[in-house]
């Protein structure tokens, strides 16, 4: 498998994927949040049939395709869930340290990673500074994760 | 004497008209720019319904419109994207410049407009409309195509070239002559290099300084900074638009994203005002006489742009059909041609009707050529190559029946 990252200035980024069997796909990540899934045509390998996906549709498709399911990790007796929690403009913690949220003490849920548009930060420490637009990947019980979402969201 | 009431009445009517025609343009899948120009013609001197109370406001709004157009354009690019495109695509940018600026320059000279008019008209025919091209590529689902990075690369280089071209034109319009023009060019080049270097190395400092969680503060700070820098650039004879463009480039990351979100509605408002202002300054009666020239210029520059796209896509190793698609996609001219003509109008008012007619033609032609250049030329080549058109695909009754069955099952 080979992936290639091609910048599309002013539009976004294109990710090219060539599979082991020689198939060729690409995903265009648009600045406005849309994703375009392209499958290349047989008669013209430079051109693709492209499907536009809004952010929710892209997430749904990603969950369908992902063979290692992220949600509902099976643990004995304890129902752990993984949730993506966005740091929106109403969040009191945008621009503040992760430690300030005292997430684990207050909710029991753990923040295992922070997704930023340009990068991913696995296991962030308490001195990690959250930014507007970050997405927290939190693992915990349903109640814990929901409480954390309320705290981060400013509810 | 004009009172506030008539200002409000005129401005309200103007904006409402723009909103309605913008909706109409959206419904028929068209860029609203040519319709804004038409509205400007209708409201201008010698038009159907001359405005006079709001003239001053519209003039200032137009100035802000240009600044915001360039600012948001700068926001769309990061410094590393600019430098990367410049490094890999400069031959395409050069071919683009030679093929598309020359017809305009020649036309300017043949019309007897002198050096300023020739330089301005060269710019009008040179620069494709990034807005229209990017929208058309998205609408046609071609973002994943292999020729697309080459197309966008050409656009980036054009937009960056504006940072050198606009100061040169500003200086020439100000009547400083060739020596003064060269100084302006050197100052502009120096500024661009410094800003790019600064944005690459230290852009995050500026972004952090400007950053704010409060949208109101972010809006005010970014807008204030942009207009201030634009004013300083204007004072230094470097063109306000370029100052704004450079501020846009220097901002990056979340701040750029937030600022883009906040400024886009403002930009849409003032850019519309700018296009109307351009139409306002144009005498509608002057358009019919220049129509033949505009048509000729349009015909020539459609061909030269297709050739540019063909060359750029060929450099990227794209096949023949993709090369024609790239050429067709680049044809649209728009907001920049209007900005350039607006700037040059101070010394060469004859450029207004010609640029209006030309831009209207090219904005309408652009999406059409983007869609049809490749199928048309591929068919022509096929017909010439084999002597006859290729036999139709054997799609018999069976296939049709299968499709019908599928349809019924739904």
B-chain residues within 8 Å CB-CB of A9?
Answer: 76-77, 81-82, 84-85, 152-153, 155-156
Q: Delimit the domains of chain A by residue range.
A: 2-53, 81-153
Nearest to B158 by CA among B141, B134, B177, B174: B134
CB within 8 Å: B319 and A44: yes
End-to-end CA distance of chain B: 69
**pLDDT tens-digit readout, B225-261:** 999 999 998 887 778 888 899 899 888 777 888 888 8
User: ipTM score here?
Assistant: 0.75
pLDDT above 90 coverage of chain B, percent: 37
Provide the shortest C-alpha distance from residue B59 to chain A (in Å): 29
DSSP state letter for A100: G
Provide the shortest C-alpha distance from residue B6 to chain A (in Å): 40
A9 closest CB neighbour out of B77, B138, B318: B77
| Token representation of residue B55 | 């003239």
B-chain residues within 8 Å CB-CB of A11?
Answer: 134, 137-138, 143, 152
**pLDDT tens-digit readout, B361-383:** 998 898 889 988 888 888 888 77
CATH assignment, A81-153? 3.30.70.1450
A-chain residues within 8 Å CB-CB of B134?
Answer: 10-11
B-chain residues within 8 Å CB-CB of A3?
Answer: none
Dihedral pair phi/psi, residue A14, rounded to 5°: -110, 135
**pLDDT tens-digit readout, A19-75:** 888 888 999 999 888 999 999 888 888 899 889 999 888 988 887 887 765 555 555
Q: What pLDDT is attached to residue A11?
A: 87
Is residue B283 pLDDT above 70, yes or no?
yes
CB-based contacts of B108: which residues, under 8 Å, 6+ apart? Answer: B114, B117, B118, B119, B120, B121, B122
A-chain residues within 8 Å CB-CB of B145?
Answer: 38, 46-48
Chain B contact present for A10, CB below 8 A: yes
Is residue B409 pLDDT above 60, yes or no?
no
Nearest to B376 by CA among B368, B388, B386: B368
Chain B contact present for A150, CB below 8 A: no
Q: What pLDDT is attached to residue B122?
A: 96
Dihedral sign for Cα atoms in the order B194, B195, B197, B203? positive
Chain B contact present for A32, CB below 8 A: no
Chain B contact present for A135, CB below 8 A: no
The DSSP-derived string for B191-242 is HHHHHHHHHHHHHHHHHHHH--SSHHHHHHHHHHHHHHHHHHHHHTTS-HHH
Residue of A nearest to B77 (CA): A10
Task: Let me know the angle formed at the C-alpha of B258 by B255 and B259, rounded to the nearest 5 degrees.
Answer: 80
| Helices and strands (H and E) in chain A: how many | 3, 9
| Token representation of residue A74 | 């099976």
B152 closest CB neighbour out of A10, A94, A131: A10
Dihedral sign for Cα atoms in the order B186, B189, B193, B195? positive
Provide the shortest C-alpha distance from residue B260 to chain A (in Å): 11
Bridge partners (DSSP) of residue A129 are: A97
The DSSP-derived string for A30-87 is ETTS-EEEEEE-SS-TT-EEEEEE-HHHHHHHHHHH-SS--SSB--SS--EEEEEEE-
Dihedral sign for Cα atoms in the order B70, B250, B183, B91? negative
Task: Spell out a b/e string for B72-88, using b for 16 or more CB atoms within 10 Å of the CB, else e.
Answer: bbbbbbbbebbeebbee
Tell me which of A94 and B109 has the higher pLDDT: B109
CATH assignment, B54-382? 1.20.1530.20
| Token representation of residue B34 | 């040519």
For strand A110-115 and strand A120-122, is the pairing parallel, antiparallel, or unpaired? antiparallel
- CA atoms within a 13 Å half-sphere pointing along the CA-CB vector of B137: 35
Residue of A nearest to B79 (CA): A9
Residue of B nearest to A34 (CA): B138
- The span from the CA of B255 to the CA of B257, in Å, is 5
CB atoms within 10 A of CB A96: 15
**pLDDT tens-digit readout, B108-157:** 999 999 889 999 999 999 999 988 898 889 888 899 999 999 999 999 99
- The span from the CA of B33 to the CA of B155, in Å, is 19
Chain B contact present for A96, CB below 8 A: no
Nearest to B142 by CA among A36, A111, A1: A36
- The span from the CA of B196 to the CA of B247, in Å, is 10
- CA atoms within a 13 Å half-sphere pointing along the CA-CB vector of A149: 16
Q: What pLDDT is attached to residue B398?
A: 40
Q: What pLDDT is attached to residue B9?
A: 86
Residues of B with CB under 8 A from a CB of A: 76-77, 81-82, 84-85, 130, 134, 137-138, 141-149, 152-153, 155-156, 211, 213, 215, 253-254, 257-258, 318-319, 321-322, 325
Range 39-78 of A in CB contact (< 8 A) with B = 40, 44-52
Q: What pLDDT is attached to residue B385?
A: 56
A36 closest CB neighbour out of B130, B143, B213: B143
| Alpha-carbon separation of residue B116 from A78, A106, A115, B343 (angstroms) | 77, 69, 52, 11
Mapping DSSP onto H, E and C, the string for B156-173 reads: HHHHHHHHHHHHHHHHHH
Chain B contact present for A14, CB below 8 A: yes
- The span from the CA of B306 to the CA of B42, in Å, is 33
| Helices and strands (H and E) in chain B: how many | 16, 0
Compute the mean pLDDT over every residue in chain B, rounded to the nearest whole number.
Answer: 85
Q: Delimit the domains of chain B by residue range.
A: 54-382
| Alpha-carbon separation of residue B70 from B63, B125, B172 (angstroms) | 11, 18, 21
């Amino acid at each position: 498998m080979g992936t290639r990252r091609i910048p599309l200035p002013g539009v976004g980024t294109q990710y090219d994927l060539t599979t082991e069997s020689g198939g060729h796909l690409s995903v265009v990540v648009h600045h406005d949040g849309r994703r375009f899934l392209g499958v290349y045509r047989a008669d013209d390998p430079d051109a693709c049939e492209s499907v536009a996906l809004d952010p929710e549709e892209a997430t749904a498709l990603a969950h369908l395709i992902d063979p290692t399911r992220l949600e509902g990790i099976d643990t004995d007796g304890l129902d752990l869930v993984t949730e993506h929690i966005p740091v929106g403009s109403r969040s009191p913690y945008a621009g503040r340290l992760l430690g300030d949220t005292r997430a684990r003490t207050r909710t029991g849920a753990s923040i295992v990673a922070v997704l930023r548009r340009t990068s991913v930060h696995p296991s962030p420490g308490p001195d990690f500074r959250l930014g507007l637009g970050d997405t927290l990947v939190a693992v915990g019980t349903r109640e814990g994760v929901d409480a954390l979402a309320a705290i981060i969201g400013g509810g | 004497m004009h009172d506030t009431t008539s200002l409000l009445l005129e401005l309200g009517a103007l904006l409402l008209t723009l909103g309605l025609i913008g909706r109409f343009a959206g419904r028929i899948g068209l860029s609203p720019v040519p319709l804004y120009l038409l509205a400007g013609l209708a409201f201008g001197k010698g038009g159907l319904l001359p405005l006079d109370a709001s003239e001053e406001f519209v003039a200032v709004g137009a100035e802000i419109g240009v600044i915001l157009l360039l600012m948001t354009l700068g926001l769309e690019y990061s410094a590393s994207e600019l430098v990367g495109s410049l490094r890999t695509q400069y031959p395409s940018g050069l071919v683009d410049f030679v093929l598309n600026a020359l017809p305009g320059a020649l036309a300017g000279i043949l019309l007897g407009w002198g050096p300023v008019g020739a330089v301005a008209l060269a710019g009008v025919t040179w620069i494709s409309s990034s807005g229209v091209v990017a929208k058309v590529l998205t609408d046609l689902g071609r973002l994943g195509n292999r020729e697309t990075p080459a197309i966008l690369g050409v656009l980036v280089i054009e937009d960056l070239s504006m940072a050198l071209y606009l100061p040169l034109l500003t200086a020439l319009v100000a009547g400083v002559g060739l020596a003064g023009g060269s100084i302006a060019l050197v100052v502009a080049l120096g500024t661009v290099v410094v800003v790019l270097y600064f944005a690459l190395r230290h852009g995050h400092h500026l972004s952090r300084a400007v950053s704010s969680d409060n949208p109101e503060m972010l809006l005010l700070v970014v807008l204030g900074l942009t207009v201030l820098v634009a004013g300083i650039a204007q004072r230094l004879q470097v063109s306000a638009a370029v100052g704004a463009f450079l501020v846009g480039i220097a901002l990056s990351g979340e701040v750029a994203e937030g600022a883009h979100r906040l400024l886009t509605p403002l930009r849409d408002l003032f850019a519309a005002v700018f296009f109307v202002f351009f139409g306002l300054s144009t005498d509608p009666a002057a358009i019919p006489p220049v129509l033949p020239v505009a048509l000729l210029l349009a015909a020539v520059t459609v061909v030269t742009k297709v050739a540019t796209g063909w060359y750029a896509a060929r450099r990227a190793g794209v096949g023949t059909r993709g090369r024609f698609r790239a050429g067709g996609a680049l044809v649209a001219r728009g907001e920049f041609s209007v900005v350039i003509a607006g700037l040059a109008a101070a010394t060469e008012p004859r450029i207004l009707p010609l640029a209006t007619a030309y831009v209207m033609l090219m904005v309408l032609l652009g999406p059409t050529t983007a869609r049809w250049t490749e199928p048309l030329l591929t068919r022509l080549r096929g017909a010439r190559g084999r002597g006859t058109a290729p036999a139709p695909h054997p799609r018999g009754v069976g296939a049709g029946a299968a499709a019908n069955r599928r349809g019924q099952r739904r």
